[in-house]
Chain A
Amino acid sequence: MELKPLHIVGALLVDGDTPRPGSLLVADGRIAAIDPTDIPDGAETVDARGQWLAPGIIDLGVFATDKPAFHFGGITRAALMPDNGPLDGAGLVERAAKGGKPDLWVHPLAAATKGLAGTELAEIGLMKQAGARAIATGRARITDSGVMRRVLAYAASLGLVTIIHAEDEGLTAGAVATDGEMATRLGLASAPAIAEAIAIARDLALVEETGAPVHFRQVTTARGLDLIRAAKAKGLPVLCGITPAHLLLSDTAIGDFRTFARLSPPLRSEDDRHACLAAIADGTIDILASGHDPRGPEDKRLPFAEALPGMAGAETLLALGLGLVRDGHISPGRLFELLAATPACLLGVDAGKLAVGKEADLILVDEGTPWQVDAKKMAAWAGNTPFDGMPVQGRATMMWKGGLRIR
């Protein structure tokens, strides 16, 4: 299909710290020029009318291919966690990669071990050939340190990053909340927050030994972040991420047994939440993701401890990220590094930035429009958001994937 060149004018380009007035030319599905002077004949012109023009969001670590939610949220690429399936074979990976066509990139994350059981290496090389962009341990970590060491070394030899869930299962067994006044008052089984730091410490030691690159998908505690900070200072190949929930909510959100606030890892103390905000401001946290995990009433309309963890986060990711900008924690440029550039780098895809030659996955963002999160009216196939009722600002108004308008 022949695409007409696309000329987006009147935009505020998010290609530096602060959005600046400019225009952008797309040809053959890629960014052909920034602030172009020569416009090819027949180019389609779109007037952004002062909205932000930013790279499409690359949502690293979702649990479902939920296209309506991703499109609402300005997400052009989603890296799919291997848990459903699980994605532990080349055929499964290939099929998952096609799950978003034609208007969404799905990048499957291969299961690190067969059946995600944490005992035997999965066919990581074959899955890479089938389109896997990284490997992941899934919703839990690999308990056996010997297996984990072999997984890291093997994935590294194939040039793949290992995406890790960091919680010590001995401490978290049976727990549905973080130790603290709230869990105790509600009578919920809880685990100490150090379960995260203990798991991170082990894996950092293995990283130091193997040299394998890793990404801790969610680091949510002060002590965990301190370890990451120290590892980065040593020059270890370590990235870490977070979702808006752990930046904006603490365990008080589980009061009244609100199962939409049951997450994995569980919501933490206010002190840990503030440490997360500091870590996103100082650059310790590299990636902001939605953790999109839609759960229907059969999973959530249950007593708290029986409900499954997870939140539908894709639709609120951009607006809550813009909130971090408005509150002065990060700059607009840094927001899109967290949402697009760094995830692109991790996955090895040629996108995520407004730069000549990159794939033209683009969004227009009306950063000021106020709206209210409403669990009952979500585009996602389930409305399990812990932010129900929250007033937010900003949304994606137009999207292109490879220069093709999809919204």
Chain B
Amino acid sequence: MTSSTLRPASDYPPGGDAFRHRHLIGIAQLTPWEISYVLDAAEEWVDLNRSGAAKHDDRLAGLTIINAFFENSTRTLLSFEIAGKRLGADVVNMHAAQSSVKKGETLIDTAMTLNAMRADAMVIRHGSSGAVQLIADKVDCPVLNAGDGRHEHPTQALLDALTIRRRLGRVEGLTIAICGDVLHSRVARSNILALTLLGNEVRVVAPPTLTPPAIDRMHVTTFTDMDEGIKDADVVMMLRLQNERMDGAYLPSAREYHALYGLTPKRLEKAKPDAIVMHPGPMNRGVEIDSSVADDPVRSTITEQVEMGVAVRMACLDILTRRKRGVVGWN
């Protein structure tokens, strides 16, 4: 463990030292106090977003943000777009489906093209692990990873941590069960990194066919029994089960998955009485989660996660463009 990770999460250094990264590629590169710094910054944006009609803060006015999504997305793209616009930036979305990527242009060529358009930040999602890092190495502006393959989805982990902190008053010393298709999930990997780093006990609850090899090396305990796995948990975090996993290769059927791993009201009783239920969306109602759980205003944080997503992304865009904008202390 390095000295920087021993520093208390709440105690971050002044100015640009509070977040020393040019890009946001993954949680793996962050220290606990860097995570706290982003969460604290995001809190302010929550307040702005909730305040009356005028939600604009024009600190990014004149800056261009390109959202380059090489993989389909609705909510994350929209969330980044709103975040950029609320900060006054000019936001352009590039969908891979309509782009030259489909015509055989390589990823690097596409990145160089976007770079030549002199974006001030790029938000990138790609279906292949490591692709966002590959682009970040080639361009001159900050790059935010909006999800790369099964690797990382750092803003999702940050918004989840913020949601937990606001609901339960802290995001340390908690027992958090991450349940479902962990094998194919970048959300799970980023959350495991963030939540263990902040000092929580993290459990992975999944069928053996969807448990990544050697996942215990990421400082989690694994469960294949859902009831056992969520027992006395403070947070039950469900993952989306992709439809193509249910065709027999990984799981026998959606029906069986629901029976063994679906979060039902009865099953949720195993968790702590005030446990919260999270889901990154979009949900398969009736498969990994019952509607009555998902829609429970006391337990479910699902819409709040969406709200925190905008605030966290505003914080990230603000922080990563400070050097470019010449903010004092950030050179």
Report how far A304 CA is from B151 CA in the complex, Å: 11
Q: Which residue of B lies closest to A190 (CB)?
A: B213
Given A187-B129, A187-B150, A305-B149, A179:B213 Cβ within 8 A: yes
**Total number of A residues with any Cβ neighbor in B under 8 Å:** 21
Given A179-B213, A184-B218, A187-B150, A303:B129 Cβ within 8 A: yes
Interface string of B103-130 (1 = CB under 8 A from A): 0001110000000000000000010111
Q: Which residue of A lies closest to B215 (CB)?
A: A184
A181 B128 Cβ-Cβ under 8 A: no
Residues of chain A within 8 A (CB-CB) of B134 are: 257, 301-303
Interface string of A280-311 (1 = CB under 8 A from B): 00000000000000000010011111100000
Number of A-B pairs whose CB atoms are under 8 Å? 67
What is the minimal beta-carbon distance from A387 to any residue of chain B, in angstroms?
20
> Does A186 reach chain B (CB closer than 8 Å)?
yes
A306 B128 Cβ-Cβ under 8 A: yes
What is the minimal beta-carbon distance from B264 to any residue of chain A, in angstroms?
29
Interface string of B187-216 (1 = CB under 8 A from A): 001000000000000000000000011110
A183 B213 Cβ-Cβ under 8 A: yes
B126 A303 Cβ-Cβ under 8 A: yes
> Does B131 reach chain A (CB closer than 8 Å)?
yes
A304 B128 Cβ-Cβ under 8 A: yes
Given A179-B213, A302-B107, A185:B128 Cβ within 8 A: no
Report how far A303 CA is from B131 CA in the complex, Å: 5
Residues of chain B within 8 A (CB-CB) of A180 are: 213-214
> Does A271 reach chain B (CB closer than 8 Å)?
no
> Does A2 reach chain B (CB closer than 8 Å)?
no
Residues of chain B within 8 A (CB-CB) of A306 are: 128
Residues of chain A within 8 A (CB-CB) of B266 are: none
Given A187-B129, A187-B152, A303:B107 Cβ within 8 A: yes
What is the minimal beta-carbon distance from A49 to any residue of chain B, in angstroms?
46
> Does A188 reach chain B (CB closer than 8 Å)?
yes
Residues of chain B within 8 A (CB-CB) of A16 are: none
Given A186-B151, A187-B186, A303-B134, A181:B217 Cβ within 8 A: yes
Residues of chain B within 8 A (CB-CB) of A368 are: none
What is the minimal beta-carbon distance from B105 to any residue of chain A, in angstroms?
12
Interface string of B75-101 (1 = CB under 8 A from A): 000000000000000000000000000
What is the minimal beta-carbon distance from A222 to any residue of chain B, in angstroms?
17
> Does B224 reach chain A (CB closer than 8 Å)?
no
B107 A185 Cβ-Cβ under 8 A: no
What is the minimal beta-carbon distance from A268 to any residue of chain B, in angstroms?
13
Report how far A306 CA is from B215 CA in the complex, Å: 24
- 11 A-B pairs, CB-CB below 8 angstroms? A179-B213, A188-B149, A188-B151, A189-B150, A257-B130, A257-B133, A302-B107, A303-B129, A303-B134, A305-B128, A305-B129
* Nearest 9 Cβ contacts at the A-B interface: A257-B130, A187-B150, A187-B151, A303-B128, A179-B213, A181-B217, A303-B131, A187-B129, A184-B212
